[in-house]
Structure 1
Amino acid sequence: MSQPPQAQQRIDELEMRIAFLEDTIDGLNDQVSTLSQEFLLAKQAMQLMHRKLEQLQQNPSAGEAMADEPPPPHY
C-alpha cells in the first residue's frame, strides 16, 4: 500500500526537522559541558581566594609583608 505524496512529503519534512533538532541538542550539550567545566574551575579559584582571604584576616601581618615589597618593574 503506497502513501499519498502529501503524506510522504510530510514525513520527509518531519525527518528533516528531527535531524535539525538532534544537531541543535548536540551543540547545546557541548556548550553546557564546556560551561560546566569553566564553572567548576571558577568555583575552585573562588574557594582558593576565600581561603587566602581568611588566612590574611587571621594573620594581617602576612599581608603587610607583601605590601612592603617593591612593585614589579612594569609599574
Structure 2
Amino acid sequence: MLNKEPDTAERVTDLESRIVFLEDTIETLNGELAELSREFRLAKQALQHMYKRMEHMQSGDSGIANPADEPPPPHY
C-alpha cells in the first residue's frame, strides 16, 4: 500500500498558497474599489455643480456680463 501523506501535505500547501494569493487579490481589489468609489463621488459632485451653473446661466443669473448686451465704449 502506498503512503498518501506526501500528496496530502502537498495539496494542503497548495491550498494554503492559493488562499494567501486570493486574500491578497481581494485586498487589492477592495482598495481599488474604494478609490474608484471616491473618484466617482467627486465626479458626480462636479457634474452636479456644472448642472447648477448651466441652470444659472440659462436663467440669465450667471454673474458674467455678456459683451453683446453692454453699450459700446464712448469713443465709438
Scaled to the shorter chain, the TM-score interval is 0.7 to 0.9
**Measured at CA, do residues 60 and 6 of structure 1 come closer, stay the same or move farther in structure 2, by a change above 3 Å?**
same
- Deviations for 1:7-66, whole angstroms, at most 9, x for unmatched residues? 011000000001000000000000000000000000000000000000001117745x1x
Overall identity of the aligned pairs, in %? 45
What residue ranges of structure 1 are gaps of 5+ in the alignment?
69-75
- How many residues align? The count is 64
Cα-Cα RMSD: 1.8
In the superposition, the TM-score normalised over structure 2's length comes to: 0.76
Aligned counterparts, 1:52-71, within 5 A: 52-59=53-60, 62-63=63-64, 65=65, 68=67
Larger radius of gyration: 2
**Following TM superposition, where does structure 1 have runs of at least 4 consecutive aligned residues deviating by more than 6 angstroms?**
none
Name the structure where helix makes up a greater proportion of residues: 1
In the superposition, the TM-score normalised over structure 1's length comes to: 0.77
- RCO higher in structure (CA 8 A, sep ≥6): 2
